[in-house]
Amino acid sequence: MLLNRLWMKNFKRFRDQEIIFQDGITGIIGNNGAGKSSIVSGILFALYGLQGTGLDGDYIVSSFAGPQDVCEVRLDFSLGGNDYTVLRRFKRRPSSTLHEANLYMNQKLLANSVQKVASEIQRIVGMGAGDFRNTIYAGQKELLALLESRAGSRKDWFMQVLGIDYLKKDSMECLKELIDAREGTCRELSGRLQELDPDGIRGHLLELRTAVAGAEEEAANARTAETGAREELESARRDYERLLDLRERCRELEREEERLTADIERLRAECRDMETEIAARQRLQADLDELQPIVERYEPLKAEVAALAEEKAHAERLNLEAASLEEQIRDHAERISRLETDLAALAEDERTVAALEEDVRSARALRERIAAMKALQPDYDALREEIARLDERFAHLEKRVLENRADIQELEEKERDLRALDEETADYESLLARLEVYQEAQEHARQVERSLHEAEAASAAARRIESEISDLSRQIAELEGVEERIEAAERRKDDLTSRISAFAERREAIRREIQKVAGHREEILAAGPEGACPMCRQSLGDHYQDLLADLASTAGSLDRALADLEEEYALAVAGQKRLAAELKSLYAQRAALQRLKEQHALAASRYEQSVGLMRRWQAEADEHRAEIRALGLEGYDPAAHESLRERIRVLAGKRAKADTLRGECSRLPVLLEERERLIADAADHLARRDEAETRLYRLGFDPEALKRLEAEAGALEPVSRAYTEAQTRLARRPALKEDLNAITARLDGLRERLRGVRGELAGLSFDPERFERLSQDYSRAESAHRRALELRVRLEEVPRLAESLGARRDLLAEREAELLRVRAAINELGFDGSMVKAAEESVAGSEQRLAAARERMYAAALRIRSLETEIEHETARLSRAEELVQQRDALTEEIERLKLTRSLIRDYIDYLLQVVRGRIEEEAGRVLAEITDGRYNTVMLDDDFSVLVHDMGEDYP
């Protein structure tokens, strides 16, 4: 890779800089901070972006750049005969970041995004940013490690630059953490497996399946009983439903009889009512004839009364208006009188105001003095409150001093009791140590008992499993030889299969031959005696009948051969089916044998586990007995243990009492200090009270004087109120005069309007008496008119009522005939209510028997479901145990692989260091030989990469 050109704009220290790289070695020289490292950072940024520089984006853009300027870096380089250009633009905004990248190869765009450019650069250069920094580029101050005199510093630098340090530290630590985590998980899985006990689960599953078989048999019996009870119930219900239908039919007929009887009675009553109504309406014609003369006067009277009513309405409106005007005139006259009275009273108010001027000034002076006194009252109240608080606090202090004295005396007495209790409980700690020994011995004794119990249980389980193994061995012996029988049957089956295939092929051949013979015969028949032979093309002539006879003979022999073949084929197929059934049975026996062998192996494993478990429990019991002897006891003595506990309990009570007294006595120094503080507080409160009383005296506020002033001001309050009211009334004089003038003007207008209304009333010619007389005549005529209309309407209904009466009489005859038919049908049914009761009792008995059978069935089903649920639970537990075993095995294998990986990485690191050291020794020797003109040409590196020069048979640093 050859660098050609680097251009940086607004990048770190460079505002706008272009660097051309010539052939050969390029040296960059400058003062500290001139930007030498920034040039290398620009190369890394152009190739790998922010990831390559390892810098924060806030430090990429130059500080000389403006707010809108963008950082741009361009790098031209050559690699593999191609010219590449990479261009990056970067800007950090407050809310976002601009980062664009473009890569060109031979002046053609190759990639145009940050991700794509990164991928292409890694592909072209052959390494990522980290590898580039660790192999090609060494940062500032990193080469100083080569000059360090400390042992191992050069080796650390080489390991860091080549990435070996990362491989050694991080990968080994990561693998160590993984191994520790997997081993912890493996231990956890082993503990969980021990808790699950897969062998116990399998035994329990066998018991549960046996119980399920018994429950299923009980359920089958219950279902049989339930079926019989259900059939009996269905028969009883059919009889019961038939009787219910009969009863319902009888009830319907009875309801129909009641309905018809009611209809007949109703129709008879309606006929009687209609006959009465028709007779009554026919008698109304005479009343209508009497009303006719009055009805004829109705219309003339109506027109005359309407004309007089209009004149009456106009007269009434005028009278109402005149009355309203008179009322308004009286109201305005009263208001004028009131206003004149008010104006006359205002003169008296003027005299009152002049007489009360002196008293009002005295009341104002009293209020000013009261306000001045009240301004001093908050200070007076505050001082009085402060004195009251001081008195209350002093009383509290006095009470607290007395309580403090009593508490001190009580605690001094308790302190003497505490010293006596401490002497009695001096050996409490030694007894507690002895109690711990007994408790530990008790736990070991309990463990011995539990271990012996578990050993006995394991021994019993081993005996049961031994019996189970003998039964399985016997069953396995009975099924031996099934494989040989299966092989023989399969050979026979293969023979039959091949024979069937041969039969099928022969059968098809014969059928084809029969079809061929039949085709020849059809051709000959079609040709006839005079025709030509289809095969030899010669005339048939006399050979026609012989050919037909030969073809018929050939066809018959082929049919017989086909029939014989079909019979043999059927026998072969039947034999194949028998062999298939036999093989199915043999396969089932082989599967049963396999299961028995698996159960035998499982039982043998369980037996060994039970024996081992028994031995472990016995060994554990011996260990606990040894632990008891190691505690200095020949055996655990419960009586001595209980006696020691009782003694410690008594001493514990005394120690608790002593601790209580000690806690209470710890308050004694505090109480003594409190007594001194209370005495000082009492003296301070007395001084503060004297000072408050002095300030109160100097204030000069007297509540009694304030009360006297307020009493005098209260006595003058009516005078002030009367003065204020008189002034308020005097202020109303201009408004009263204005109201008086306005009301007077309105009164004159109302009087003028009243005179006009009275003149209009005098011009009317309305006669009230005549209007009253005509109104009465009109009322009588109107009543007669309405009565005549009603009579005419009722008389017009007489023909319709007569027709309706005839229809109801016909309907009455039909209902009476239908009633006779219903009563005959009821007699024919012959229903008895006791039959339904007997059927109900039969159904109830059948339902009870069915419910009992179903309860048995439900109980069996519930037990089956419960057992199946438990089987599922135990199966799930067994599955979990098997999964745990698989996980533990996988973890064990993974741990071994991880350990092997650590070993391989360690060996690989050593190999890399040897390779690097060899290359360095070779290059350093070559350079040293050139410098010393061949005198020294052998350089060695020790384990810490310290340089050793070989001279005269020795290695010198």
pLDDT at position 8, please?
92
Confidence band for 643, pLDDT divided at 50, 70 and 90: confident
Q: pLDDT, tens digit, for every residue of 685-705? A: 777 777 777 776 677 666 777
pLDDT of residue 141 exceeding 60, the answer is no
Residues 463 and 599 in one domain: yes
Residues 14 and 55 in one domain: yes
Backbone phi and psi for residue 130, each to the nearest 5 degrees, phi listed first:
-65, -45
pLDDT at position 428, please?
72
Last residue of a domain, one of 123, 140, 157: 140
**Residue 456 within a domain:** yes
pLDDT at position 211, please?
82
- Identify the bridge partners of residue 92 per DSSP, sorted by sequence position: 97
Residues 8 and 131 in one domain: yes
- The SS3 assignment for 231 reads helix
- Identify the bridge partners of residue 532 per DSSP, sorted by sequence position: 539
In contact, 551 and 525? CB cutoff 8 Å: no
pLDDT of residue 389 exceeding 50, the answer is yes
pLDDT at position 73, please?
94
pLDDT at position 145, please?
46
Q: With pLDDT > 70 as the criterion, what percentage of the chain qualifies?
A: 80
Which value, to the nearest 10 degrees, does the dihedral of the CA atoms of residues 266, 267, 268, 270 take?
90
pLDDT of residue 882 exceeding 90, the answer is no
Distance CA 208, CA 211 (A): 5
pLDDT at position 77, please?
94
Confidence band for 324, pLDDT divided at 50, 70 and 90: confident
Distance CA 283, CA 276 (A): 11
pLDDT of residue 129 exceeding 60, the answer is yes
DSSP string, 628-665: HHHTT-SS--HHHHHHHHHHHHHHHHHHHHHHHHHHHH
Q: pLDDT, tens digit, for every residue of 261-284? A: 888 888 888 888 877 777 776 676
Number of alpha carbons in the 13 Å side-chain half-sphere of residue 448: 16
Last residue of a domain, one of 90, 118, 140: 140
Distance CA 188, CA 600 (A): 31
- Looking at residue 113, the DSSP 8-state letter turns out to be S
Q: pLDDT, tens digit, for every residue of 542-558? A: 666 767 777 777 777 77
**Residue 712 within a domain:** yes
pLDDT at position 265, please?
86
Q: How many domains does the chain have?
A: 3
- Identify the bridge partners of residue 78 per DSSP, sorted by sequence position: 2, 83
Residues 419 and 516 in one domain: no
Residues 468 and 516 in one domain: yes
pLDDT of residue 436 exceeding 90, the answer is no
Of residues 765 and 310, more confidently modeled: 310
Q: pLDDT, tens digit, for every residue of 555-583? A: 777 777 878 878 887 888 888 788 888 87
Q: pLDDT, tens digit, for every residue of 789-815? A: 776 666 666 677 777 777 878 887 887
Give whole-number Cα distances, 508 to 512, 513, 543, 943, in Å.
6, 9, 31, 90
Residues 403 and 539 in one domain: no
Last residue of a domain, one of 630, 650, 679: 630
Q: Residue 48: give its domain's CATH number.
A: 3.40.50.300
Q: pLDDT, tens digit, for every residue of 344-356? A: 776 676 776 676 6
**Residue 513 within a domain:** yes
**Residue 546 within a domain:** yes
Residues 160-183, mean pLDDT to the nearest whole number: 75
Helices 703-730 and 357-424 sit at what angle, rounded to 10 degrees?
Answer: 140
The mean predicted confidence, pLDDT, of the chain is 76
pLDDT at position 152, please?
58
Residues 609 and 463 in one domain: yes
Q: Residue 580: give its domain's CATH number.
A: 1.10.287.510
**Residue 827 within a domain:** no
Per-range mean pLDDT, top range of 354-363, 407-416, 717-726: 407-416
**Residue 446 within a domain:** no
CB atoms within 10 A of CB 594: 12
Residues 549 and 698 in one domain: no
Q: How far is CA 636 from the centre of its chain?
A: 57
**Residue 897 within a domain:** no
Distance CA 233, CA 227 (A): 10
Residues 377 and 461 in one domain: no
Residues 598 and 464 in one domain: yes
Residues spanned by the domain of 11: 1-140
**Residue 248 within a domain:** no
Distance CA 10, CA 72 (A): 7
Residues 377 and 509 in one domain: no
Residues 483 and 563 in one domain: yes
Distance CA 60, CA 44 (A): 12
* Cβ contacts of 324-329, under 8 Å, gap ≥ 24: 325/750, 325/753, 325/754, 325/757, 326/754, 328/750, 329/747, 329/750, 329/751, 329/754
pLDDT at position 76, please?
96
